[in-house]
Amino acid sequence: MSQELLIATRNKGKVREIKELLKGFDLKITSLDDYPDMPVIEEDGKTFTANAVKKAVTIALYTKKLTLGEDSGLEVKALQNQPGVYSARFAGEGATDHKNNAKLLRSLRGIPLKKRQARYRCFAALADGSKLIDVVQGSCSGLIALRPKGKNGFGYDPLFFIPCYDQTFGELDPDIKAQISHRAHALRKIKKSLLKYL
């Protein structure tokens, strides 16, 4: 019987990426979509770490299952590291990726590409019913493109430009993204924690 790992999110893009990054583990990976009656977690932390831990611990205590809480977002240097923890709701509560991307482009209007440094950051927390097991982080640096390109990924991916590949995450082959992304870096560390735990 495979051990279950519950990912404390309803974001289908995140679930898809995490499943892909953890393939090879004998884990049954589920998400909040598989458990409709879960408590709603308000992401009111001032840091990615606080939100990731809150998701993992809340759901692990509630379900007594091994739970992965993850919080990630985009920090843009020219915007004093905004949108940061507000990445998903940069253009307001319930904003679409399209609206968030449009607001980001408006905020950076007139700023040349080389001054649009940004990094994606991912914080992941692993908890079971009794304790917090580990908290890790990963990041990936790039630039914010002048206009969206590509249909892959989600969130700010069509604007997140990787100079060495001359492509955005939206254009980049998903296999390459799965090696270099912020989430890939964080989940490599989570894999080690999982190996110890399992």
The 10 Å CB-count burial string (b at 16+, else e) for 133-168 is bbbbbbebbbbbbeebebeebebbbbbbbbeeeebb
Which residue stretches of the chain have pLDDT < 50?
none
Q: What structural domains does the chain harbor?
A: 3-197 (3.90.950.10)
Per annotation, catalytic residue among 26, 34, 44, 71? 71
- The proportion of the chain whose per-residue pLDDT surpasses 70, expressed as a percent, equals 99
Quote the pLDDT of residue 137: 97
Quote the pLDDT of residue 36: 86
Report the distance separating Cα 123 and Cα 112, nearest Å. 29
Quote the pLDDT of residue 23: 87
Quote the pLDDT of residue 28: 94
Contact assessment for residue 43 and residue 84, using Cβ atoms and an 8 Å cutoff:
no
Quote the pLDDT of residue 182: 95
Is 71 marked active-site? yes
Quote the pLDDT of residue 198: 85
pTM: 0.91
Report the distance separating Cα 11 and Cα 33, nearest Å. 9
Quote the pLDDT of residue 21: 87
Task: List residues bridging with 29 in a β-sheet.
Answer: 5
Report the distance separating Cα 68 and Cα 29, nearest Å. 10
